[in-house]
Structure 1
């Protein structure tokens, strides 16, 4: 049986899925047709129901609950891993409480969890431009935007380019809730046989566990997709986003996800829905 699988080329995802797609673990008769895309493209593919299994933002997941169920393995949750709001203007960085509503903000996609957090922290910032996440820093340097919402490896590089942090939205969430921030999860189409859904969850967990036990095993694969990132930065990225919640959400992870959904529904940022989030 072959299933379509989408995830990002970022080191955390390639680290997680390397063992699965390269048969370093027993895939129990399953094959995977893999595609790589940035997170907002994956979000849109999920909205269109194009993939059997895909990584997506938890924000986007709220719009596809009728089509997809959340797997317990493969997610990106954690402390100190949230998106950063940055600027070229040091004054703005030093005065985050005085951000004018007409400031232009570059975001990595309207359905990203980063954009959801921006809406919680700065609801008045509505002048948003959707950009590929890797283009946001340059857009700030070129004065095309006033603020940039960065994710992934850009949190390690923005200072080298003379940019300044306005707010760590992950820290904002942690202080507000005391929970890890849910960034992205792995979902599977509900039309797929339930037994196969659970098998996929089990295999992704095994793939993560294999990666933890053999952290250099997928180095060539990770480097191949890491946009010329230095090895040290790649593994900083992995250490930041791949953790115990990537093996299994556990009670803590589920609490954080449930809180994110309930808070977003209360604020009208996502539609209300009573569909079960997790695998049946």
Structure 2
């Protein structure tokens, strides 16, 4: 019997998750498949979750705009997902849906891979944005011991995030001190890269394009940069294990993803 899992979002055609998970499935020799699901709206997503509860699906990775809905529809919620206020993973078992978030793990894995010299414990870090991605970043960085601050154009949203997660609201004055700046916005942030310290690390949570204008500006200054593809693969690893019960094989899925993106590095 083929185990079926997948990723749900809207739009979904651009997702690299099926490519990554199918490569691991093939390498591990599993009788499994990983598909892309594009519910038109929240009602469609709820119908997909209910289908999962029947046993038709082993689980789902969840991307925008359904992460908050995934949390609300779950029968069980991990502490990580609760603190993030959203879930990127639903696992179905015995008619129940268990919600988790692996985004924070993905962020920390990306930093370890592409900025191995960065130590965040006890140091100021700045997160740009106040949505679900920013919440996952704030939760992970706080857990790692960082002094996490949130900078957002709408102060009320930053204040709500800070209150929920026990981090602080930051202003533009925090830029020169930040050891790490994470862009959790879906657009290029309006910050002056020239104000950053010379050893600051920049991370962008999006991977289309791989070298975003934010990261390009950092590289032009000689700063270490961390891309969103590293985070995507980093969050996919624990998701794969949760969905299929085995660790992902050690194959170069980044090279496959880069080829799909038309990138070379």
TM-score, normalised to structure 1, is 0.36
Higher relative contact order (CA 8 A, sep 6+): 1
TM-score, normalised to structure 2, is 0.38
